[in-house]
A and B are shown apart, each in its own frame.
Chain A
């Protein structure tokens, strides 16, 4: 099961990790982008914490929509509308539920993924956040279908996100500012895939009580 309280805790955990790793995300983005991914997400998740309802206050849709609206308005770069679309699609999928079962959480995350695809028009292998998110959700679906407990399933998802993130290193970017660099974008880990791993790891850690 996944509850509104866990969604709130997930957002807080994500915001805390963004704070810890903002410099690293920015450094990755300086190599192949416009060098603001860390600071942008930091600004976005600080705003998300301000708008986030308290644990137990309202439904899953409300909590995730608050995160979405904060990111849409405050991030500034492409990750704002992309992550904003991710959380908004999750919010729509979960709606007024205050607690959902594992399969419904997986379905909502998949809706989030589909929204990022629709918004950014990227394909797997384009060296984007999708390269971490896609493998993570495939692993999650497989584990949930196999009847694994949610904590274990999310650990599998976070591990797949990490593998996907590392697999972006040799790729040539085909989307975003990094694509202007062409072949020179190879050899660098994608900042968006890195922050997506962070988001998935925060979810796994939250559900596992870490």
Chain B
């Protein structure tokens, strides 16, 4: 079993696309998309995020990648109000950009690394050089 990932975005397409992109690099890692509000609107849905965290959790923990504003609020609400202590205790919200963090986190998870290490790897994506020579 590996750490699982959940991608929370205001856009269902961003969440699904990011999960697809990250999954390509990390076969065997559970990656769940929880994007958009109910009825397909732009936004986030704490109930849906809670379900995705449960689906991604294989017992080794879950790293949640979030985009803006309500993505963080809805994820915290899901953890504090909708999920049990056990799942909450092994779930971390990544301090990382959603796409890069998901790809790097998924790769780290695929090695069987523990949650803290996966979270740290994803956080490293924030300072990853891109256009710099």
A36 at the interface (CB under 8 A from B): yes
B70 touches which of A43, A47, A74, A80 (Cβ 8 Å): A80
A119 touches which of B37, B68, B76 (Cβ 8 Å): B76
A36 to B10, CA, bound (A): 13
Number of A-B contacts defined by CB within 8 Å: 74
- A-B contacts besides A76-B10, A76-B37, 17 pairs, CB < 8 Å: A36-B42, A43-B37, A43-B41, A47-B38, A74-B39, A75-B43, A76-B36, A76-B42, A77-B43, A78-B70, A80-B37, A80-B44, A80-B46, A84-B77, A119-B76, A119-B77, A176-B69
How far does the Cβ of A35 sit from chain B's closest Cβ, in whole Å? 10
List chain B residues, Cβ under 8 A from A77.
Answer: 37, 43, 69-70
List chain B residues, Cβ under 8 A from A82.
Answer: 73
User: Judging by beta carbons under 8 Å apart, are A78 and B77 in contact?
Assistant: no
List chain A residues, Cβ under 8 A from B77.
Answer: 72, 81, 84-85, 119
B30 at the interface (CB under 8 A from A): no
A176 to B69, CA, bound (A): 6
List chain B residues, Cβ under 8 A from A125.
Answer: none
Chain A positions 55 through 97: 1 when the CB is less than 8 Å from some CB of chain B, otherwise 0? 0000000000000010011111111111011001000000000
A184 at the interface (CB under 8 A from B): no
